[in-house]
């Protein structure tokens, strides 16, 4: 059973699931896709938009109750996909922004237009606050395009890299293909996750993505990545 560390399955808090019924269908779909645990990661923009945490916690509990009622082999954990802002590090340290499954890992998102300097500065501040940054869907950031950059992020800030499963099912642009293959082959990718948002268009595809990755990068590489997700929720 896979552990999905990036999912917008909880309804009514961001651009993910819109209704309770859609959340329930997405949970059923996750189980059918071989997922046994999900870290629920709604979008959070600290200090800019007020996150409806009370609503999130209420709907999170309702989703867990549905899982129990249906007898689904699925566990849910709380988390957040944090768009980095200046208050992020302080609010993480104060416990006012959710970390990943109550661990010292924090999933950090950037804008595709952010510069390398901005990304490095953000990772440094998150790490300086005592958290291990997980870079959400790193394939989306044009500023990160060299293997040496990724190695430096890991050595300096203990940063971890998450790639979307759907990306693995698609052919990469020529200019990104070598970089993408390189970060996998050099063991620089730490997580594969769905980033699922809805039943239509952005559903889960973990099994398909993992299968494609195994074919291209081999069992040893992918088994290590899957183990990282298991260890995260056991931390």
* Residues contacting residue 191 through CB under 8 Å, at least 6 positions apart: 5, 6, 134, 160, 161, 162, 163, 225, 228, 229, 232
- Say how many C-beta atoms besides its own lie within 10 A of residue 32's C-beta: 10
Report how far residue 32's alpha carbon sits from residue 20's, in angstroms, rounded to the nearest whole number: 19
- 8 Å CB contact between 89 and 133: no
User: In this structure, what CATH number is given to the domain that contains residue 124?
Assistant: 3.20.20.140
Domain that holds residue 17: 2-234
Tokens of 44: 């959070």
The 10s digit of each residue's pLDDT in 17-44 is 999 999 999 999 999 999 999 999 999 9
Report how far residue 11's alpha carbon sits from residue 19's, in angstroms, rounded to the nearest whole number: 5
User: pLDDT at residue 223 above 90?
Assistant: yes
Number of domains observed in the structure of the chain:
1
Helix, strand, coil % in the chain, rounded to nearest 5: 45, 15, 35
Task: Say what angle helices 116-128 and 147-157 make with each other, to 10 degrees.
Answer: 20
pLDDT at 11: 98
Position 235 confidence tier, pLDDT thresholds 50, 70, 90: confident
- 8 Å CB contact between 31 and 67: no
> Tokens 């870290």 belong to which residue?
39
- 8 Å CB contact between 133 and 100: no
pLDDT at 40: 98
Q: What is the reported pTM?
A: 0.96
User: pLDDT at residue 145 above 80?
Assistant: yes
């Amino acid at each position: 059973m896979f552990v999905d560390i990036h999912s917008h399955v909880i309804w009514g808090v961001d651009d993910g699931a819109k209704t309770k019924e859609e959340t329930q269908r997405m949970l059923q779909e996750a189980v059918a896709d071989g997922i046994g645990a999900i870290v629920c990661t709604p979008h959070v923009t600290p200090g800019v938009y007020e996150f409806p945490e009370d609503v999130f916690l209420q709907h999170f509990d309702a989703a867990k109750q549905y899982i129990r009622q249906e007898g689904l082999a699925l566990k849910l954990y709380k988390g957040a996909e944090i768009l980095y802002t200046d208050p992020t590090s302080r609010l993480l340290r104060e416990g006012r922004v959710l970390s990943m499954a109550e661990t010292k890992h924090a999933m950090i998102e950037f804008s595709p237009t952010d510069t390398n300097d901005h990304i490095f500065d953000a990772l440094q501040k998150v790490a300086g606050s005592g958290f291990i940054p997980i870079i959400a869907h790193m394939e989306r950031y044009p500023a990160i395009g060299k293997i040496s950059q990724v190695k430096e992020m890991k050595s300096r800030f203990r940063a971890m890299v998450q790639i979307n499963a759907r990306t693995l099912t698609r052919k990469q642009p020529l200019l990104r293909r070598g970089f993408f293959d390189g970060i996998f082959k050099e063991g620089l990718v730490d997580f594969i996750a769905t980033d699922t948002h809805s039943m239509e268009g952005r559903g889960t595809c973990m099994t398909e993505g993992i299968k494609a990755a195994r074919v291209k990068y081999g069992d040893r590489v992918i088994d290590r990545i899957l183990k990282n997700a298991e260890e995260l929720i056991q931390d």
